[in-house]
A and B are shown apart, each in its own frame.
Chain A
Amino acid sequence: MAANEMIQVSNLTKKFGKLTVLDNISTAFRAGEVVSIIGPSGGGKSTFLRCLNLLEVPTSGQILFDGINICDKKTDINLHRQKMGMVFQQFNLFENMNVLRNLTAAPIKIKKTPREEAEQNAFRLLDRVGLRDKAASYPSQLSGGQKQRIAIVRALMMEPEVMLFDEPTSALDPEMIGEVLDVMKALAESGMTMIVVTHEMRFAREVSARTLFLEGGHIEEDKPSHQLFENPESPRLISFLKKVL
């Protein structure tokens, strides 16, 4: 195992009852890498991502994060989740809190960051996504694109080592997709490690250096993005790309 591998997945299997959703998957993610995961609906992309921070418990296999097996019952999963930010398709901003509290709740309660410092950080990040003036708004008062940018900032507030995105633009109106992708692009350029499940082929191709094609619970292809898109090998990937491009 190379020293700079941040996440090492070995023989990961996930079953829901009799249905095998992930079938013996092995792969690794290095620090600083931006990886896209593409594939047909129901192929297990979300399940794979959710296994990485144990929102789903793997049926078998091993996930090493910074060398620690997070599937081990003895590891403190709450501690590990702090190091993995997650962004959901449905945003999932806390409806009962305004934007500022959405951002500061976790750092203050979990990391014991002083409120003042947490709020300073929040405003600094809000500036970066152009939403400083929304600090006092409630989620129900924001557009989808604004919600998702806030959700990204909320995850960043915990200063994670890696960011997981599960179709962050799929619930957005077309005119709002760009503003979210821009934020993600800037994040990628800043050196953040990112694993992105996406239907945005342009993002996969242009922003992520590597793309995985996940289908039927298997990684069918795993390559530098330009190769995967220019010279797809497996017939399934070829037919998938024909449909989406």
Chain B
Amino acid sequence: MTFFTNAWQTLEKYYPFFLEGVENTLIIAFFSVFFGTLLGILMAMARLSNIKPFKWLATAYIEFFRGTPLMVQLMFIFYGLPMIGVTFPDVPFIENFQRFAAGIVAMSLNSCAYVAEVIRSGIQAVDSGQMEAARSLGFKKSQSMMMVVLPQAIRNILPALGNEFVTVIKESSIVSVIGIADLMYRTNGVKAKNYKTLECLFIAAMIYFVMTFVSSRLIALMERRLRRGRK
């Protein structure tokens, strides 16, 4: 039982550290999902476009970002880019803006590739007969997409997009390596102070789990709403 007592005492004593970590983790995750989704939509459009160069570039991008570790991408952006003269500006009054910017950019670029795939496969899962029927009535391709295909694709896309959000929360723990004070970074900090390694990791795991569990419940709720609204 001493384990749980120790864990509780650690939490009581250091909870402001953990809280700050949670806050930064959520900030990183929120912006990464936001930009990742926006870019992902554009990337999916390019991937499905009939314009060959767009299609090729998007495909190459998606394959590359899904085929290399996020850690390498993050390191490349935070350490590599400044070496070739590309730096994020320092913004007054926002502490550590450079680090946050690098973290969010890396996570967004990475997430965008996964979101693009989610959207593409969601669209392609809609029976091609739906598009043909719309075209045969005289709808333009874009009209057919907006009126018939996308509303059906959304149903395939949303659950997978929810998964992606949960994944981003978990994966964001990686930004601790470039010195962003997220939950993982703070956990390591506390660990170094009280040497209660197991307890600290246990606390971090529980907090991550609560965050992902609550998000996935919320997403499931939203999905059900949407479905009910349609039928």
Residues of A within 8 A of B (CB): 53, 55, 78-79, 81-82, 84-86, 88, 90, 92-97, 105-106, 109-110, 138, 151, 154-155, 158
Contacts and interface: CB of A to CB of B under 8 A. Distances in A.
A95 B130 contact: yes
Max chain B CB contacts within 10 Å: which of A78, A79, A82? A78
A112 B172 CA distance: 50
A88 B140 contact: no
B134 A53 contact: no
A82 B130 contact: no
A79 B152 contact: no
Interface in B181-231: 230-231
B138 A92 contact: no
B138 A110 contact: yes
Contacts of A158: 137-138
Max chain A CB contacts within 10 Å: which of B136, B139, B143? B136
B126 to A, nearest CB: 9
23 contacts: A53-B136, A78-B138, A78-B139, A78-B140, A82-B137, A85-B137, A86-B133, A86-B136, A88-B132, A88-B133, A90-B129, A92-B127, A94-B133, A94-B148, A95-B130, A96-B151, A96-B152, A105-B147, A109-B143, A110-B137, A110-B138, A155-B137, A158-B137
A90 B128 CA distance: 11
Interface in B148-191: 148, 151-152
B135 interface: yes
Interface majority SS (helix, strand, loop, mixed), chain B: helix
B151 A55 contact: no
Given A55-B136, A109-B139, 16 more contacts: A55-B135, A81-B135, A81-B136, A82-B138, A85-B136, A85-B137, A88-B129, A88-B133, A92-B127, A92-B129, A92-B130, A94-B148, A97-B148, A106-B137, A109-B147, A154-B137
Given A94-B133, A96-B230, A105-B147, A110 B139 contact: yes
A106 B139 contact: yes
